[in-house]
Structure 1
């Protein structure tokens, strides 16, 4: 599982780590093409995930709540609980 060198695995891992879900085939192909063609760097792709409406309306909002209420990042278990 070479997520640092294979663009398809990198994209699939972003879906898991940032959006807390498995990737759809079309999504992986899109992001893989963006990286492989040189249109976007891996950092730009990761930033796109973080700026997405899906992230901002789910995990982003929960993270902001943790900062506001607890002055810290959410722990993985708490984040997973609130995402469900």
Structure 2
């Protein structure tokens, strides 16, 4: 993933219309103040992706509804070992 565009808050406020166009191709623009990220400006596509991820974060999957491949991966997993 490409490094997000970082813009100081004062420049973002002054040139909002420019960044409104740039965010469509950049996806995300990080807003900074005193060299710290204080927020972000998302394109419509990235915002939809964010909402989808938040929805899945709390999704419940029943064991009986799980596909065989996922079930096999869980059954063959080892505690403390990262997946490959």
TM, length-normalised to structure 1: 0.27
Higher alpha-carbon Rg: 2
Question: Which structure carries more strand by proportion?
Answer: 2
Please identify which structure carries the higher helix content: 1
